[in-house]
Every structure is written in structure tokens, then in C-alpha cells.
């Protein structure tokens, strides 16, 4: 137990052990988003700020949906420039707007094996990149039509996620809520 002075010079007791930091691990729940009432509940106040090491674009298999493909095509690409393999994997878990969804691995460069859209260490389709890229290094667990849990992705533990006393989970969850709302609006008119 430590004794500290507050702004009025009064002695306050401060128990360091009472402040717990989240243990960063794959699958850790960052918080929950309630889409119908636009609210956020933080479970673990982690800190994340992308450091552009592009490990994710280089090493991970990026899943793209039919909506991602269509959005990229609208911006001037052909389907063969987006995916190599047109046999989809069917995701059976609850997804954003359906109970199952077809996903395809994004096309990769022949020699480097990095994502085909990675140019000079930058995403060349940043403004319309796949939904999975928008929310990475996080993943969603859809609980019901209005409730989504945000978890640290299990594919790889991104080095830019930190456990500090100064977390920015609120901002992270707000951004992800925005991406989900955008994605759902896009899908609804399709």
C-alpha cells in the first residue's frame, strides 16, 4: 500500500495491486458492441496502434467475401486479379448478415507470397480493402443480430497490441462499430 497526496494535498491510499492489466492473448475479448443502440462495453482495455509492419499482409491468408470482391471489382479490378481459387470455403458460423457465408483466400504474389494488393509496403486498395483487413488484428463473434463481441484475432498475435495503463479500447471499438455499420449498410442494398 502506498500513500499519495491528491490535488488538495490530502493523503490518499493507493493500492497498486488493485489495478490489473489485461494479459494479452489470442482470442482475448476486447469488448462488446450493441449495434441497435450504438453502445460499447469494454472488457479489456488494451492498446492498439498499427505500426505498419505489414506482417498481416505478408503472412496471413486473407479471407474475402463476395461483397469484398464486388467492391474491389467496382473499383476497376477483374475477379481473377482478386482471388486465385474460386472454390469458396463456407463459413458456417453466424456472420454479419447471414448464417453462413462463402469466403475465398485473397490472391497472392507469385514470388513473395504476399497479398497481391501490397505495393511498396502499402495497401493499394486501402479505401475499399476487404472487411477482414479493416478490422484486423481483431475478429468478431456474432452473438445475435445486434450483439457482436470483438476479440483479438487468433491467427497471429499482432505485436502492435499492448497492455498498458492507457488503453484505447474505446476508440478501437468505436472504429469497429463504424466498419460494421458501413458493411451492413453496403450488404443490405445488394
Nearer to ligand SF4, 26 or 58 (CB): 58
Binding site residues, ligand SF4, CB under 6 A:
57, 62, 115, 117-118, 123, 125, 129-130, 133
Place of cell 488538495: 8
H helix runs in the chain, sequence order: 55-59, 66-74, 131-135, 169-188
C-alpha cell at 1: 500500500
Nearer to ligand SF4, 118 or 176 (CB): 118
Query: Nearest approach, Cβ of 119 to ligand SF4 (angstroms)?
Result: 8
Nearer to ligand SF4, 22 or 130 (CB): 130
Query: Nearest approach, Cβ of 40 to ligand SF4 (angstroms)?
Result: 24
Nearer to ligand SF4, 95 or 114 (CB): 114
* Separation between Cα atoms, residue 38 and residue 177, nearest integer Å: 8
* Separation between Cα atoms, residue 18 and residue 161, nearest integer Å: 23
Nearer to ligand SF4, 57 or 69 (CB): 57
Q: Which residues contact 84 (CB under 8 A, 6 or more apart)?
A: 105, 107, 108
Place of cell 488503453: 167
Query: Nearest approach, Cβ of 139 to ligand SF4 (angstroms)?
Result: 14
C-alpha cell at 90: 463456407
Query: Nearest approach, Cβ of 56 to ligand SF4 (angstroms)?
Result: 6
Half-sphere exposure of 69 (CA within 13 A, CB side): 20
Query: Nearest approach, Cβ of 142 to ligand SF4 (angstroms)?
Result: 21
Amino acid at each position: 500500500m502506498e500513500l499519495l497526496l491528491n490535488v488538495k494535498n490530502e493523503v490518499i491510499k493507493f493500492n497498486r495491486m488493485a489495478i490489473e492489466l489485461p494479459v494479452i492473448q489470442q482470442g482475448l475479448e476486447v469488448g462488446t458492441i450493441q449495434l441497435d443502440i450504438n453502445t460499447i462495453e469494454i472488457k479489456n482495455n488494451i492498446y492498439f496502434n498499427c505500426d505498419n509492419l505489414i506482417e498481416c499482409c505478408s503472412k496471413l491468408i486473407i479471407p474475402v467475401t463476395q461483397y469484398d470482391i464486388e467492391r474491389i471489382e467496382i473499383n476497376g479490378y477483374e475477379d481473377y486479379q482478386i482471388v486465385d481459387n474460386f472454390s469458396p470455403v463456407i463459413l458456417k458460423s453466424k456472420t454479419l448478415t447471414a448464417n453462413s457465408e462463402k469466403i475465398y483466400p485473397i490472391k497472392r504474389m507469385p514470388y513473395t507470397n504476399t497479398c497481391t494488393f501490397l505495393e511498396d509496403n502499402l495497401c493499394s486498395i486501402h479505401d475499399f480493402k476487404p472487411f477482414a483487413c479493416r478490422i484486423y488484428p481483431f475478429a468478431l463473434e456474432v452473438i445475435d443480430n445486434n450483439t457482436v463481441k470483438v476479440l483479438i484475432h487468433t491467427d497471429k498475435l499482432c505485436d502492435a497490441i499492448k497492455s498498458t495503463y492507457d488503453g484505447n479500447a474505446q476508440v478501437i471499438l468505436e472504429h469497429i462499430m463504424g466498419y460494421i455499420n458501413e458493411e451492413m449498410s453496403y450488404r443490405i442494398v445488394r
